[in-house]
Structure 1
Amino acid sequence: MEIQSEFLAEDELAQVTGYQIPSKQIEWLSRNGWKYALTGARRPVVGRVYARLKLAGIKPSETNAVADTWTFDLSRVG
């Protein structure tokens, strides 16, 4: 089983934006209200969970972009 990166791959970002050129990707992301970070090479980086939420029509926030936390509960063990 292949583990996916936390970030969209270059080809995935090109598929979302419709552009191969990083400056055009940045324009598209900014114009469409997407959050992104820039690498030292000025390439946009978009988080995978963030992209999934945006593409599903859900406004990403701190509460829905983080997986539910799991806690070890022994209260019912008798």
Structure 2
Amino acid sequence: METEILSEKELAELTGYKARGYQRRWLEERQWHFVESRGGRPLVGRQYACMKLGVTLEVMPVAPPPMPTPSWTPDFSRVK
């Protein structure tokens, strides 16, 4: 299962650089938003990267499930 953050290998493949400083510079020059980890690694979200690269995600419309039919109904005939 893929994580929500690009891996180091994927980020190196995207930017063409293994060094974190060059990766940050590449991202900044292209106006990509990223967050740095404590170790200085740029963290890029997978969905954000797909959006920036123009990859469209297939969205399936989800219809709410039908309401269940009640097993009983109240008898209001004797209420005044």
Q: 1:41 is matched with which residue: 36, 39, 43?
A: 39
Moved over 3 A (4+): 70-75
2:13 is matched with 15
Aligned residue-pair number: 68
Q: Helix, strand or coil: the match of 1:29?
A: helix
Residue type of the alignment partner of 1:16 = L
Which residues in structure 2 correspond to 1:1-78 (within 5 Å)? Answer: 3-56=1-54, 72-74=64-66
Consecutive unaligned residues of structure 2, counting only runs of 5 or more, are 70-80
- Rounded to whole Å, the distance in 2 between the matches of 1:71 and 1:57 is 25
- Rounded to whole Å, the distance in 2 between the matches of 1:31 and 1:42 is 17
TM-score normalised over the length of structure 2: 0.70
Residue type of the alignment partner of 2:42 = P
- RMSD (Å) for aligned C-alpha atoms: 2.7
TM-score normalised over the length of structure 1: 0.72
